[in-house]
Amino acid sequence: MELTRELFAPQSAAEGQAEAIHRPSLTYWQDAWRRLKKNKMAMAGLVVLTIMSLMAIIGPHMTPYSYSDQDLQSTVQPPSAKHWLGTDDLGRDQFTRIWMGARVSLFIGLMAALLDLIIGATYGGISGYLGGRVDDIMMRIVEVLYAIPFMILVILLMVIIGGGLFSIILAMSITGWVGMARLVRGQMLQLKEQEFVLAAKTLGADPGRIILRHLIPNTMGPILVSMTMTIPAAIFTEAFLSFIGLGVRMPLASWGTLANDGYNLMRLAPWMLLYPALAIGITMLAFNMFGDGLRDALDPRLRK
């Protein structure tokens, strides 16, 4: 068959658009947020954490009572219209103290995780980037600290330096950063041979700038996931320390101190133990649900 001009026709613009790719271009973080929104369990955890954080701010102001006000004529009262969650053995309003305890527990968890991030990311970044003998020495120090039982060390430090809000944060941060350091070091060993690091070196960037401006931002995915797991662990540690009497000092309340008070009156007033235990359990569950979803959303291997 002879090919002639009449056998061919120019393609119209409408036909050309039929095969065009209409999906918008998404950055890594935009795609991660898109996938996170599709995870119902993760979003449910995020909603619960948002509600808990808002209640920690406004909850203590929703009643006319202060967290330290005592009313010896209204001791160990069950939940009622006057006291929504009842009162404790000193007549203090439990609703107010629960949300004041949320402030303390969430503050301790966030500060402990933030210090772990700062110390661990800096230490692990330096170790992984420099490598060689420096890396060997720094990692041997981490391994020695990692071998010490965390809870025993924290209890010993609390006994030595005494209880208190900042004492708890300091005790948990002394060795709590080693896990973050090992995580960041592993990421650094993978990233420091990439082309963008070589380009930064060629342009004369010093090691500190390369670590802070180029390497650590590229490890934020695993770091954020680790932080979402560190916060509930710190909250649980604070609750345990307060439960055994090494936590925050009276009259300041935390979920651990409230659980300790409720445990002593568990048969007489079970609601005193129930509400702080529920607050701890719901918060830790929400953090774990959100952390699992965040890990899946930030995993580039699951990107479609």
* More confident: 110 or 7: 110
Proportion of the chain above pLDDT 90, given as a percent? 22
DSSP, res 214: I
Distances (CA, A) of 38 to 35, 84, 148, 208, 297: 5, 36, 41, 38, 9
Largest Cα separation within the chain, whole Å, is 108
How far does Cα 146 stand from its chain's mean position? Answer: 20
pLDDT value at position 168?
84
Q: Do the beta carbons of residue 131 and residue 148 sit within 8 Å?
A: no
Residue span of the structural domain in which 268 resides: 45-60+73-302
Sign of CA dihedral 120, 121, 123, 129: positive
Instruction: List, in order, residues 6 or more apart from 235 with CB less than 8 Å away.
Output: 105, 106, 108, 109, 255, 280, 283, 284, 287
Split into its structural domains, the chain has a count of: 1
Q: What is d(CA 265, CA 93) in angstroms, rounded to the nearest whole number?
A: 16
| Any domain includes 17 | no
| Any domain includes 49 | yes
Strand extents, DSSP E, the chain: none
Mean pLDDT of 214-240: 85
Q: What is d(CA 276, CA 272) in angstroms, rounded to the nearest whole number?
A: 7
| Any domain includes 294 | yes
| Any domain includes 19 | no
| Any domain includes 2 | no
DSSP, res 93: B
pLDDT value at position 14?
56
| Any domain includes 5 | no
Mean pLDDT value across the chain: 84
pLDDT at 4 over 70: yes
| Any domain includes 187 | yes
Q: Report the CATH number at residue 49.
A: 1.10.3720.10
Q: Tell me the per-residue pLDDT of 178-209, one tens digit each, with 9 for 90 and over.
A: 989 999 998 888 888 888 888 888 888 888 88
State pTM to two decimals.
Answer: 0.81
| Any domain includes 18 | no
